[in-house]
């Protein structure tokens, strides 16, 4: 499974990229607005840090507007992935952009039928929002299972399932068990994947025994 980080905080991205665990970045208008910086500057800086796909979302909702904004975003860097909403105009823009050689992330997916449409439109990624489904009493992981089952029936579909709206580490684990290609997670959730009390306890015991023995490596 590939790990993307879902943030526009450049400092956070630098720290996580240094770990070697980061395969890409996703942003959205809300995250960019939270940064307080111009979108062009934020995306350009992120693309210089992370060589993998960096999703930058259009704000337009009509086909022509999406294509206009996509041209601007694609000019920032070669690893920009244009993010469009899962709407009729968004899927139409997806097909056009894909045919033109762009990477496209179709976002705000909440059903298997929508995911299938995104794949048919040639999306590089489709982003099902598992946490938001859980919030309304539906099962985000059931959606991932359905999408993966459908995609496996048609090997010619090259769209990768990018699990989004991740709320806790088990979302990542369950998505990986189902074979999802990518999980995009907030920095705090990515760090939680490291944590286990037995790791901390074991390390403390090892260090205590080492100190007690008075040993040194060098």
Spatial contact of 112 and 146, defined as CB atoms under 8 Å apart: yes
Is 120 catalytic? The answer is: no
| Integer Cα distance of 54 and 42 in angstroms | 11
Of the residues 2, 14, 83, 177, which is catalytic?
Answer: 83
Interstrand relation of 103-109 and 125-128 (parallel, antiparallel or unpaired): parallel
Is residue 116 a contact partner of residue 153, using CB atoms and an 8 Å limit? no
CA distance 61 to 159: 22
Beta-carbon contacts of 216 under 8 Å, excluding residues fewer than 6 positions away, are none
The Cα 63–Cα 47 span in angstroms is 25
Q: Could you tell me which residues come within 8 angstroms of residue 92 by beta carbon, excluding any fewer than 6 positions away?
A: 63, 121
| Phi (first) and psi of residue 162, to 5 degrees | -110, 100
- Rounded to the nearest angstrom, the gap between the alpha carbon of residue 153 and the centroid of all alpha carbons in its chain is 24
The residues assigned a catalytic role are 83
């Amino acid at each position: 499974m590939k790990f993307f980080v879902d943030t526009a905080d450049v400092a956070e991205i630098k720290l996580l990229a240094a770990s070697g665990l980061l395969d890409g970045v996703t942003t959205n208008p809300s995250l960019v607005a939270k940064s307080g910086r111009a979108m062009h500057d934020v995306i350009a800086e992120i693309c210089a840090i992370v060589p993998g796909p960096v999703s930058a979302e259009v704000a337009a909702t009509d086909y022509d507007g999406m294509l206009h904004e996509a041209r601007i975003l694609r000019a920032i860097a070669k690893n920009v992935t244009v993010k469009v909403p899962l709407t009729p105009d968004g899927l139409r823009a997806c097909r056009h952009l894909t045919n033109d050689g762009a990477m496209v992330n179709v976002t705000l997916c909440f059903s298997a039928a929508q995911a299938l449409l995104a794949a048919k439109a040639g999306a590089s990624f489709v982003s099902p929002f598992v946490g938001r489904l859980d919030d309304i009493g539906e099962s985000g992981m059931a959606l991932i299972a359905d999408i993966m089952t459908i995609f496996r029936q048609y090997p010619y579909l090259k769209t990768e399932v990018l699990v989004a709206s991740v709320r806790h580490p088990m979302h990542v684990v369950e998505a990986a068990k189902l074979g999802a290609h990518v999980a995009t997670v907030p920095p705090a959730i990515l760090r939680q994947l490291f944590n286990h009390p037995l790791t901390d306890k074991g390390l403390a015991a090892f260090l205590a025994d080492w100190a007690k023995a008075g040993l040194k490596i060098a």
